[in-house]
Amino acid sequence: MKTNIQPAKGKLGILIPGLGAVATTLIAGVEAVKKGISQPIGSLTQMGHIRLGKRTENRYPKIKDFVPLADLNDIVFGGWDVYEDNVYEAAMHAKVLEPGLLAAIKPELEKIKPMKAAFDKNYAKNLDGSHVKQGTRQQLADAVMEDIENFKAQNGCDRIVLVWCGSTEIYYEASAIHQSLAAFEQALANDDKLISPSMIYAYAALKLGVPFANGAPNLTVDIPALIELSKLTNTPIAGKDFKTGQTLMKTILAPGLAARSLGISGWFSTNILGNRDGLVLDDPDNFKTKEVSKLGVLEDILRPEDNQELYGEIFHKIRINYYPPHGDNKESWDNIDIFGWLGYKMQIKINFLCRDSILAAPIALDLALFIDLAKRAEMSGIQEWLSFYLKSPQTLPGLRPENDIFKQLMKLQNTLRHLMGEDLITHLGLDYYQDLVEVL
Ligand SMILES: NC(=O)c1ccc[n+]([C@@H]2O[C@H](COP(=O)([O-])OP(=O)(O)OC[C@H]3O[C@@H](n4cnc5c(N)ncnc54)[C@H](O)[C@@H]3O)[C@@H](O)[C@H]2O)c1
């Protein structure tokens, strides 16, 4: 049965806390695509197709022609940052995109000036920006809500979504004040420092029924209090951590090795990067947040507890080093020690010269478009079908995440089919295969 989905009419405001490398690459990219000078490569919503019905039907539309997504021409961007640079200046500073491309869209980018950030330096010690709001946690949340409503009115938006592209915050775990909405609101009123800046944005968005996606590994909406609020205001949420670079490779490769029942005794991953993200991650407390997000992936895919002989002894190590000369062009090396028939050892080496924000920008776009779709389809709470885009997918507490990218894609596609009243695809195909055989 087809779900009743509100049409994507009018403008969609995408508001981004953190107008750094990823956000400016996203915004510049969308503006360049709108002007017809570039292609949205890497974006499933813009370039991807989806099979519908039996293989014999040959129905394979583009996803954006199948589900009612906001059109890129109807998107308006805005955001917050602790630095005052407009999006053109920030994009020049990030050095991801060529100055020539940025010059072609300079007027559009210059117009976007960050609003003052809700910030606490204790959560990102390596940042020294002063474009910040003053006040208690409660006052900051109220001010962010006001920003959202003002932006919506000033830009004539029908709908708003928030995508956190701010720096990775220091490592923290959920504590008592994060366990219920009542406790969280009390802590806001008490100006409790255990509420991180990203949680302030998330709270403000959810309170207004504005969907929120988290591109960083910090907990943010992944706490019972904000899950409760998302259900209360019928708002979809998704997180955590854009799945780019090395982890993308891991979630492509590990399911393949596991599918062939090949053993893995070690997986050593190291990275060098020189952007501001790298600078923030140079602080051990911020790196810990990233490390935890990256480490879970292999365990979830390989399930060592059920596959002792193959993965019981796996040694998984991840390093990230700040190396300014590389800028946003992250380089990663993976050494994978595997073993096959009769325990014979083999090795795989990967050297990925990737561009971090080039991989992250289309993910941020797709998350914004899909979470807006989810809202219009009256889906609320954790949107696990968006795990495809995330390194550390948010699931219901106690539920093991699915990290295998192929299963994640199947789940995403089946969710779209389900929403549009199409048959789910199980890849069984026996029914019609038999019919075809009998005809021959
Ligand atoms: N680039 C990737 O491939 C990738 C992949 C996965 C996750 N991420 C995550 O996405 C986030 C953004 O990455 P980036 O490369 O754009 O980093 P960046 O350092 O270029 O940009 C982050 C921006 O957030 C701002 N900021 C920090 N705290 C803020 C606050 N409280 N309010 C408003 N602004 C704030 C910073 O000033 C900075 O301009 C990081 O958390 C990163 O870990 C990036």
Report strand pairing: 75-81 vs 115-116: parallel
The whole-number pLDDT of residue 283 equals 85
**Nearest CA, atom 33, ligand 1:** 81
Q: Using 50, 70 and 90 to split pLDDT, how confident is the model at 294?
A: confident
- From residue 299, how far is each of 60, 106, 371, 391, 437 by CA, in Å? 34, 45, 28, 13, 42
DSSP state of 206: H
3-class secondary structure, 128: coil
Q: What residues pair up with 419 in beta bridges, in sequence order?
A: none
Q: What is the distance in A from the centroid of ligand 1 to the CA of 215?
A: 8
Determine the pLDDT at residue 153: 98
In a mutational test of the pocket of ligand 1, which residue from 25, 85, 121, 165 has the highest number of ligand atoms less than 8 Å from its CB?
Answer: 165
Which of 22, 26, 279, 291 has the most ligand 1 atoms within 8 A of CB, as the residue to mutate? Answer: 22
Q: Lowest-confidence range among 160-174, 252-266, 316-330?
A: 316-330
Q: Would you give the end-to-end CA distance of the chain in angstroms?
A: 34
Chain length of the chain: 440
Report percent pLDDT > 90 for the chain.
86
DSSP 8-state class, residue 266: E
CA of 23 to the centre of ligand 1 (A): 8
CB 181 within 8 A of CB 228: yes
Q: Stretch 21-43: mean pLDDT, rounded?
A: 97
Q: What's the CA gap between 380 and 151, in Å, rounded?
A: 23
If you take atom 21 of ligand 1, which residue's CA is the nearest one? 20
Whose Cα sits closest to atom 3 in ligand 1? 356
What tokens appear for 192 in the block?
Answer: 């409790």
Q: Which residues contact 130 (CB under 8 A, 6 or more apart)?
A: 82
Which residues touch 103 (CB under 8 Å, ≥6 apart)?
A: none
Mean pLDDT within 399-414:
95
pLDDT in tens, 198-208: 999 999 999 99
Which residue do the tokens 């932006």 mark? 151
Residue with tokens 């008490």: 190
pLDDT-derived band at 431, boundaries 50, 70, 90: low
CA 121, CA 259: separation in Å to the nearest integer?
Answer: 45
Q: Look at residue 1 in the predicted model and tell me its pLDDT.
A: 67
Atom 38 of ligand 1 has which residue's CA nearest to it? 20
With 90 as the cut, is the pLDDT of residue 439 above it?
Answer: no
Predicted confidence band at 432 (pLDDT cuts at 50, 70, 90)?
low
Structure tokens at 124: 């990102």
Say what the pLDDT of residue 229 is: 98
Give 51-90 pLDDT, tens digit per residue.
999 989 999 999 999 999 999 999 999 999 999 999 999 9
Q: Of the given ranges (2-16, 147-161, 275-289, 320-334), which has the lowest mean pLDDT?
A: 275-289
Rounded distance between C-alpha atoms, residue 178 and residue 393, angstroms: 19
Query: 277 C-alpha vs ligand 1 centroid, how far in Å?
Result: 6
Q: What is the pLDDT of residues 276-287, one digit of tens each?
A: 888 888 888 888
| pLDDT of residue 428 exceeding 70 | yes
Q: In terms of Cα–Cα distance, which of 363, 437, 395 is closest to 48?
A: 363
Question: pLDDT band at 429, cuts 50/70/90?
Answer: confident
Alpha-carbon span 245 to 265, nearest angstrom: 22
The half-sphere exposure of 194 on its side-chain side, counting CA atoms within 13 A, is 16
Token pair 């508001």 is found at 15
Residue whose CA is at the smallest distance from ligand 1 atom 40: 167
CA of 372 to the centre of ligand 1 (A): 22
What's the gap in Å between 330 CA and the centre of ligand 1?
15
> Of 174-188, 251-265, 392-406, which gets the smallest average pLDDT?
392-406
Give distance in angstroms: CA of 165 to centre of ligand 1: 5
Please give the distance, rounded to the nearest whole angstrom, from the Cα atom of residue 167 to the centre of ligand 1: 3
Q: What is the pLDDT, as a whole number, of residue 440?
A: 62
DSSP state, 427? S
pLDDT of residue 273: 87
Residues within a 6 A CB radius of ligand 1: 17-23, 80-83, 94, 117-119, 124, 127, 129, 165-168, 197, 215-216, 241-242, 244-245, 275-277, 280, 356-357, 359-360
Which one of 167, 242, 322, 389 would you pick to mutate in the ligand 1 pocket, going by the greatest count of ligand atoms within 8 A of its CB?
Answer: 167
